[in-house]
Structure 1
Amino acid sequence: MTQSGKSLRLSGMTIGLGINSVDYYKKTAYGPTYETDISDAQVKKQGKAIANQVIKRLRQRRSLKNIPIIIALYKQASDDSLVGGNFFAYSMNDDGETKVAKWDKINQKNYVFPLQSDKKGPSQNDADSFDNFKSEIQGFFPNLSGVTAQAQYTDGSLSGMNISITTQFYSQTEIISFTQYIQNAAQRYLPANAPIDITVSSTEGIQSFLSRKQNEKKFSAHIFNSY
């Protein structure tokens, strides 16, 4: 939006289109659910076809005829996926264009750490760093319920990591002590030069949150009060 006198004027738009990677269907109304994988080639083909329909319809609206429109294509993950989907292409459409002229590739993939034995990630060093971090905090606090991470890679390099830690701690003293320990272990073991968020929670909710922005060395921490 841009200011025009006392009013606002739409100056651009971004649209994300989610494309299924698995087709779920029933043969009878109350029967079992079947699934069929949709190939990457078909996902791309359908996504680009839908994008052309969308931009054509948008341009029919007077307020959208002459603004730049960005369309991004997102591949939906299967229902049982732990990592979610990923964007795989985008297009910048200048004023008045009613059809996508050019697509740019987005090389983005998500992984869950620790990796399953039959899975291979883009960086063994990152996987090992997380495993060492996990072993360190579980060795000191063995009654943790779980330590997992979702890592995102762009063009083969780590672009972000979200770590979830589930505890069985309920006293404020335990939470403070554990958060301080995580802070030190994270700075020691986790990959450098990438933004990382760590959420510590229990069945009662979020207990603490730690974060480090890209190119920063230290993690900041916030402990939520319990009542």
Structure 2
Amino acid sequence: MKRIWVAPGLAAVLFLGGCLPSFAPEKDEVIQENEEKAKETVIIPDVQLKDEFYKTLIPFKQSASRGMVVSNLHTKYDMKEVEQGLLRLSTRHFDPEKYFFQEGQYIDKETARKWLARSSDNDQGLNPAGASKGASAEEAAEQAPIYLAHIVEQNYLQKSGENNIRLSGISIGLALNSIYYARDGSETRIPDDKLQKEGMKMADEIVSRLRAKEGLADIPIVIGLFKQESRSSIVPGTYFATAYADKGKTAASGWKEVNEKYVTLPAPSSLTNYRDINNTFSKFKQDIDKYFPSFVNVIGTAHFRDDEYESLRIEVPIQFFGTSETIGFTQYLTSLVKAYFPNINVEVSITSVNGPEALIVKDSGEEPFVHIYGY
């Protein structure tokens, strides 16, 4: 890279604020106690990019079940959102100003495999036993679909005294299948009420099992139920329910609806709730088409939380390859982003067959950050 253009808004590029350590001289070294009561020195970064981002302890500890998300979830969109959405739920109970983030250390791969199995295949399996003998493929899918696809664990720690840090909270995300894909290729949609009922039952069992682990008897636990989208979906699923198990409680309580939704833009005219953002996006797309007729398509993904607009991701595949044309297009696109989305968090990714070409990131009310790759 020969040159990088930077403007206010750089923080929006990062997914998790604590993922990058600070390289400044100031650092906070503390002692962390693990479940075996052993101690180790960890560093708390001195930078917090946004109020809603957690600082992450250094050295970074990978999840004990790392790698399973790729094989268990349907799409790359669900893989990201099942973790990112759980972070948002966690902020309701674990204040990012007071807690530090660490990937889950208490549910390892072997434990996760056992819990994800059918109860007929493993006595710890949380999914239902197989269908009755002689049942047809359709009957089997209805009797015993696989509900639970993946378990995500996140740990939250607090300072205990001046130089010590300890586990103070756990969040668990249960990724549930909205569609059961049988081995014979058939598909069975699982009703939302059934999915919620089964998810809540599994949540209570998981809380009970975590309480039995050493050191976790009095750790608050947040539970989130995540509904996966279909394998062909270009938008991620979302968390639809959450609950909390306070210190010593062996079951989750106080279940609440999580009102989040991802909408693909341009949206069908039938989705009247999103008419305003859809009209704005359509005008934005029309201006792009006027300027560059060789353009392929523009796809937007809008995120709504509690019926309020949260953010917009835009993917822009291009067919041209000239450097000057790429720069000109990026500059023009940046001006459109400022004009059409002044008070919206926006991320625009411009790509070609050669890979990423440019990135535009703008926080609500801020100037954009622009980067042209390889220039």
Structure-2-length-normalised TM-score? 0.55
- 8 A contact 1:115–1:121 mirrored in 2: no
Partners of 1:174 and 1:93 in 2: CA distance: 56
Partners of 1:121 and 1:127 within 8 A in 2: no
Q: What residue number does 1:14 align with?
A: 171
1:113 aligns with 2:262: no
Which position in structure 2 is the counterpart of 1:86?
238
Q: Residues 165 and 198 of structure 1 are in contact (CA less than 8 Å); yes or no, is this contact kept in structure 2?
A: yes
Percent identical across equivalent pairs?
31
AA matched with 1:188: A
Counterpart AA for 2:261: K
The CA deviation at 1:218 is 3.0
Residue 190 of structure 2 corresponds to residue 38 of structure 1: yes
SS of corresponding position for 1:72: strand
Pick one of 135, 148, 151 that aligns with 2:286. 135
Say which structure is richer in strand.
Answer: 1
User: Is residue 374 of structure 2 the alignment partner of residue 225 of structure 1?
Assistant: yes
Corresponding residue for 1:2?
158
Matches within 5 A, 1:105-184: 105-116=257-268, 119-184=270-335
Number of matched pairs: 218
Asked whether the 8 Å contact 1:172–1:225 carries over to 2, the reply is no
- How far, CA to CA, are the matches of 2:353 and 2:164 in structure 1? 47
Give the Cα–Cα distance (whole angstroms) in 2 for the partners of residues 21 and 206 of structure 1. 32
Code of the residue aligned with 2:186 in structure 1: it is Y
The residue that corresponds to 1:26 in the other structure is 183
Task: Give, in angstroms, the shift of residue 47 of structure 1.
Answer: 1.1
Residue 208 (structure 1) aligns with: 358
For residue 217 of structure 1, report the CA deviation from its aligned partner.
4.3
Higher relative contact order (CA 8 A, sep 6+): 2
Are 2:193 and 1:193 aligned? Answer: no
User: What is the alpha-carbon distance in structure 2 between the residues aligned to residue 67 and residue 79 of structure 1?
Assistant: 36
Query: 1:56 and 1:194 mapped to 2: Cα distance?
Result: 42
Alignment equivalent of 1:58, drawn from 210, 221, 242: 210
Instruction: Name the residue aligned to 1:69.
Output: 221
